[in-house]
Amino acid sequence: MALEFNKTSYLKIYTGEDVLFEDIPLYKAILREARSLGLAGGTVIKGIEGYASKVRGVGRAVSTFISGNANFPVVVELVDKKENLEKILPFLEKNAPHALVVMGEVDYLVTDFMRKAAEGYKDIRNGSPQPSYLRKQQEQQQ
């Protein structure tokens, strides 16, 4: 079977571990907002070192044994269609003024799992109580 690739978009938000939104880390607030908007997926990656030309923000100081205070870099990666990712931009503009936000397009490998999941999502949207791939598995077991 030939490999199949589809296009999608990503949004990366570069910030610091100690940057807060209200009373929680900004990266957690971004994931919470992305989930509430129904974005396809998000991941937080914590760096071990980094730098920026300006201070990324102020907040609590994280104490480390070796070097004193640290502000480890954090990258939030969101993946979805561009028009869906654009829904979170007003939140970022308002609440992440020190963050660097980049958007781009990528190709992703379509796996059998993704095909089955997409088929199931179509069934759910059409009102079927159970994704067809699960029904087929149950029928084969009987």
Domain boundaries, the chain: 5-108, 111-142
Burial of 95 (0-12, 13-18, 19+ CB in 10 A): middle
- Amino acid identity, position 50: G
Q: Average pLDDT of 30-56?
A: 89
Task: Dump pLDDT digits (tens) for 12-30.
Answer: 999 999 899 999 999 999 9
pTM, whole model, 2 decimals?
0.73
Task: Dump pLDDT digits (tens) for 86-107.
Answer: 999 999 999 998 899 999 999 9
- CA–CA separation, 100 and 132 (whole Å): 42
pLDDT at residue 120 is higher than 80 = no
- Structure tokens belonging to residue 43: 């991941």
- CA–CA separation, 142 and 21 (whole Å): 52
Q: Domain 5-108 adopts which CATH fold?
A: Alpha-Beta Plaits (3.30.70)
